[in-house]
Structure 1
Amino acid sequence: MKGKLILYTLVAAIGGLLYGFDTAVINGALPFFKAHFELNDIMTGWAVSSALVGCIVGAISIGKPGDLFGRRQMLKMAAVLFLISALGTGLAQEINSFIVFRFIGGLAVGAASVLSPMYISEIAPAAFRGRLIITFQLALVVGILLAFFVDYLLINTGGNNWRYMFVSEAVPSLLFLLLLFKVGKSPRWLVQKGNYEQAQLVIQEVNPLDESENIIREIRETIAEEKKQQQEKLFKKPNLRFTLIGICIGLYSQLTGVAIVFYYATDIFRAAGFSTDSAIGQTVILGLTNLTFTLLAMKFIDRIGRKTLLYYGTIGMAIALGVFSWAFFMGQTSSWILIIVLIVYVAFFASSMGAVVFVLLAEVFPNNIRSRGVAIGSFSNWMVSGVITFLFPVVTGMFEQGKGVAYSFAFFSVMTFSGFFFFKKYLFETTNKTLEEIERENR
């Protein structure tokens, strides 16, 4: 792979790092700002899920601006929003302004979740595309681990520790913004705008083979077809199949309960009897597991295929979630079984669903609806995440100690298991195929 291909991919992937950091930093901060603002269960759920409302809005609305102004330009806007959110949440004096700035951060996360994988998929040669798009997921889990580690380091910094946790995100946000001035524009977007010479230059910069003319021709052909079919609807044939698959990819990725694990792990461990310091320490272990198995998936995603990873991952996660639910039902929360089971769960998630979901969302849609398709797939992801993140503290507060957690994880286990059958029946393989080949074979 050429140096500029690696550079452009890594810069775009910082959007994933900020995505992970922004969504996970609240885990360690939660016990402290909850006490500071004196929040009840409903307001706790709203304070956490408000960012996810922003994610929903950002994901569903970024498609058209991304087509109009370009992926790179909109990523710059997302970087600015990340920076505003980091400073605003850390300096908030009352809960309403805190929620507003969390919402702004959510807008940035939603935009990055669509644009970063899309940008990488549009600069990547087919042979490397899976590994390069998964760099976004790798950066995401690095961001989660970094957030957990920063939370752990800042626990004992006084009454404003939670403020420091949120403000710390300003550093990678500013770095992201500055580095985006060093990357090229998406060649597919340039061709769409009629700038063929610049598109050819970008392709030559990032493609390991001298195939720029063939690539330009393929892109022009698909864009010409797009103009003929510009009135096509997402929910009408022949696009309906792709749209439903994309929506279900987003749905099942969150029905695994991963948001609950990474947002509320500290509270779950505290409910199991661990101290706050110890509970936050356990999240670092989960973050390291997440990173390790994402690296493993990165090695195999272009060898064994997306579907195979999903098959074993959904089965493994369903079993782990079921055991976790059983432990709370049986009152086994004082043992280390909870940590072991969650480590197993995170390992299966990171090496399957976590690694594959953004790769698939960037691949399964035809070119003429890709921007809108990725946006609606991300929208379904964030919609489910927002609902379950808001409801989790409410549900757990409705039942006696531990039972709410048990019922919640039993539900996630069943839904994850059902995902296995969906992927087996409806999902098509995209490994080692150009975006144009995927479209031709599955129309």
Structure 2
Amino acid sequence: MKPVSHSVYYCAMVVAFGAFILGLDAALISGTIKFVSQEFALTDMQVGAMVSAPGLAVLFALMITGYICDRIGRKKTLIGISFIYIFSAIASTFAPNYETLIIARFIGGLAFTSLSVAAMYIGEIAPSKIRGKLVTIVQVSIVVGFSAAYFINYGVLLLSQSDMAWVSAIALDTQTWRWMLGVEIVPAIVWFALLFTIPKSPRWLIMKGQEEEAKDIIAQFDHDLSPEEEVAQVKTSLKVDPASNSFFASFKALFSTKLRKAVIVALTIAIVQQATGINAILFYAPTVFEQIGVGTDAAFLNAVVVGVVGVAFTIVAIFLIDKVGRRPLLMSGLILASVSLFICHIGFKQASYQLSAEQISEISQSHDISGIEHLADKTFDTDIAFKAALKQTMSEAELRAAESVLLQNAISIDVVVVMTGIMLFIVAFHYSLGPILWVLFSEIFPTGVRGVAIPVFAFISSMVSYFVQQFFPWLLNNIGAADVFMFYAISGVVGFVFLYKLLPETKHKTIEQIEAELVAS
């Protein structure tokens, strides 16, 4: 019996909805940092651990994702991932203490493998002429999730400050951060239900010898070749690469000479995408904007702008990726990202910090702090020196609670320069590094090793992301914003040099054609 007919666009959008939930999960936490830090009296490293817990968990999950995908299939793996999102969202929302919150977020991080599995699935069902566009939907979903989270955080923050009776009745004013995190529960349940409506990956079915079912599914998706020709081509690829029949043989094949070029390209993109600091800005968006002295409410609003810009330019990438190509977008994006990050470095490098006696008096009264009167009219050349002076008379908890207002009053900085740098970086990342990583991961590896290769390099990218998230609060307070942004800029330059020499163009090529170009004989 033939399966129910499916649209390739529908299937791609359903699978990519998991990336939307990941974006929600990652960005919702950014709005809770101040509230959770105050409630549980967290240190910089504890804040980093709270934000990065999913990033640590996904490292473990990715070690077995490839095996699970090849064993039970892409569809069943995604269904399991969606259930983990539901459990984590509920547990995080009702976490009674810091330790429970960390555990709940760690469990949720196991589901972050949804990105690599989604890219794998879409790459395997998509006709070559629209594969780039369809895989890019994954990145669109992420940034829409980020943007939605920033809107939600800002909306919840404004409501929590309202004097309406129902706000107090549902504890929105006292449990603000729980309402922010609780939003994720509903879309996670919706995704779980939708995943039962999509077919299995035809390439996976061919690997398992279920060719007739694979032909029925391929026939629905308007491939360039007939179902019979498509099956024959995939079977030929599998014969050429017998490693496809064994998970461990596939993993070993990644280190073979013939895959060296594909591996170097994937490794470079995996590292550079995260080493440019995108998740420091996205996961800590309000914190980053507080560093330029705009205040808490304005910081949340600017985070909303970041989300909107990210969505807009990811959509631009969808329209350009199969027309302009992967290589031009990635190369131009790396140049713009590096320049914009250097602009941020210059902006923070030129900043100075000074509090007047009147400002200190007002802040002391409104935030119930004392002992900083001796700092009146003293000028500090860096944020590090300013914060160090504050730490001599304030506890870490007191400083965290008052940091936004202290920076807002003390800093003298060209806000336009820093904001321009940040927004240009968001533009550059979302039309290049963000979506193209997943497109290339889905294209550059032979069918036989793709089930292992994508999770392996997603693991590497996630590992870099974890370190960025974990140590960003500490680096911000111990090295300073200027030097942090300089490191990110240098990472972009290094990535450009490597990829300019190695990255081929892959648009409008079948996976087998790309394999012939990248894989040495």
What interval of TM-score do these two structures reach, taking the shorter chain for normalisation? over 0.9
Q: Which residue of 2 aligns with 1:431?
A: 507
Residues 203-242 of structure 1: CA deviation (Å, up to 9, x unaligned): 0111255611110111111122332675353212112332
Is 1:8 the equivalent of 2:11? yes
CA distance in 2, matches of 1:241, 1:335: 43
Q: Which residue of 2 aligns with 1:123?
A: 125
Aligned residue runs from structure 1 range 398-413, under 5 A: 398-399=478-479, 404-413=480-489
The alpha carbon displacement at 1:60 in A equals 2.9
Which one-letter code corresponds to 2:421 in the other structure? V
Residues 299-351 of structure 1: CA deviation (Å, up to 9, x unaligned): 01011111110111111111110010111111053623322321111011111
> TM-score, with normalisation over the residues of structure 2?
0.82
CA gap 1:435/1:233 in 2 versus in 1, 3 angstroms: same
Residues 386-431 of structure 1: CA deviation (Å, up to 9, x unaligned): 11211111122225xxxx1111000000111111111101112211
Which one-letter code corresponds to 1:225 in the other structure? V
> TM-score, with normalisation over the residues of structure 1?
0.96
Q: Which runs of 5+ in 2 are unaligned?
A: 161-171, 352-411
Is 1:96 the equivalent of 2:111? no
The one of 417, 441, 444 equivalent to 1:337 is 417
The answer to whether the Cα contact below 8 Å between 2:268 and 2:499 also exists between their aligned partners in 1 is no
Aligned residue runs from structure 1 range 120-199, under 5 A: 120-155=122-157, 156=160, 157-199=172-214
Residues 14-37 of structure 1: CA deviation (Å, up to 9, x unaligned): 011112111111111111111111
CA distance in 2, matches of 1:380, 1:253: 11
Q: Which residue of 2 aligns with 1:212?
A: 227
Which one-letter code corresponds to 1:8 in the other structure? C
Q: Which residue of 2 aligns with 1:85?
A: 88
The answer to whether the Cα contact below 8 Å between 2:90 and 2:185 also exists between their aligned partners in 1 is yes
Q: Which residue of 2 aligns with 1:360?
A: 440
Which one-letter code corresponds to 2:423 in the other structure? I
Report SS of the residue matched to 2:253: coil
The one of 384, 387, 391 equivalent to 2:464 is 384
Which one-letter code corresponds to 2:506 in the other structure? T
The answer to whether the Cα contact below 8 Å between 1:204 and 1:210 also exists between their aligned partners in 2 is no
The alpha carbon displacement at 1:354 in A equals 1.0
Is 1:261 the equivalent of 2:341? no
Q: Which residue of 2 aligns with 1:350?
A: 430
Deviates further, 301-310 or 266-275: 266-275
Residues 135-167 of structure 1: CA deviation (Å, up to 9, x unaligned): 111111111111111111111231211111111
Aligned residue runs from structure 1 range 46-85, under 5 A: 46-85=49-88
The answer to whether the Cα contact below 8 Å between 2:347 and 2:414 also exists between their aligned partners in 1 is no
The answer to whether the Cα contact below 8 Å between 1:60 and 1:378 also exists between their aligned partners in 2 is no
The alpha carbon displacement at 1:271 in A equals 2.1
The answer to whether the Cα contact below 8 Å between 1:117 and 1:136 also exists between their aligned partners in 2 is yes
Residues 46-89 of structure 1: CA deviation (Å, up to 9, x unaligned): 11111100122222320100000000100001100111111111
The one of 20, 28, 35 equivalent to 1:25 is 28
CA distance in 2, matches of 1:344, 1:242: 29
Which one-letter code corresponds to 1:34 in the other structure? S
Q: Which residue of 1 aligns with 2:272?
A: 252
Q: Which residue of 1 aligns with 2:452?
A: 372
CA distance in 1, matches of 2:46, 2:267: 29
Aligned residue runs from structure 1 range 99-118, under 5 A: 99-109=102-112, 111-118=113-120
Residues 239-285 of structure 1: CA deviation (Å, up to 9, x unaligned): 23322321221101001110111011211211221221210110000
CA distance in 1, matches of 2:309, 2:340: 15
The answer to whether the Cα contact below 8 Å between 1:246 and 1:373 also exists between their aligned partners in 2 is no
The alpha carbon displacement at 1:3 in A equals 5.9
Q: Which residue of 1 aligns with 2:46?
A: 43
Which one-letter code corresponds to 2:478 in the other structure? M
- The count of aligned residue pairs is 437
CA distance in 2, matches of 1:104, 1:377: 21
Report SS of the residue matched to 2:209: coil
Report SS of the residue matched to 1:239: helix
Which one-letter code corresponds to 1:60 in the other structure? M
Residues 184-220 of structure 1: CA deviation (Å, up to 9, x unaligned): 0000011111111111111011125561111011111
The answer to whether the Cα contact below 8 Å between 1:52 and 1:382 also exists between their aligned partners in 2 is yes
CA gap 1:93/1:66 in 2 versus in 1, 3 angstroms: same
Runs of 4+ in 1 over 6 A off after TM superposition: none
CA gap 1:95/1:228 in 2 versus in 1, 3 angstroms: closer
CA RMSD of aligned residues (A): 1.5
Which one-letter code corresponds to 1:129 in the other structure? R
CA distance in 1, matches of 2:491, 2:235: 41
Deviates further, 152-161 or 344-353: 152-161
Q: Percent identity between the aligned chains? A: 30
Deviates further, 203-212 or 349-358: 203-212
CA distance in 1, matches of 2:193, 2:134: 21
The one of 474, 490, 494 equivalent to 1:418 is 494
CA distance in 2, matches of 1:10, 1:154: 28
CA distance in 2, matches of 1:23, 1:164: 15
The answer to whether the Cα contact below 8 Å between 1:249 and 1:377 also exists between their aligned partners in 2 is no
Larger-Rg structure? 2
The alpha carbon displacement at 1:441 in A equals 1.9
CA distance in 2, matches of 1:34, 1:365: 43
Deviates further, 333-342 or 117-126: 333-342
CA gap 1:60/1:249 in 2 versus in 1, 3 angstroms: farther
CA distance in 2, matches of 1:287, 1:48: 18
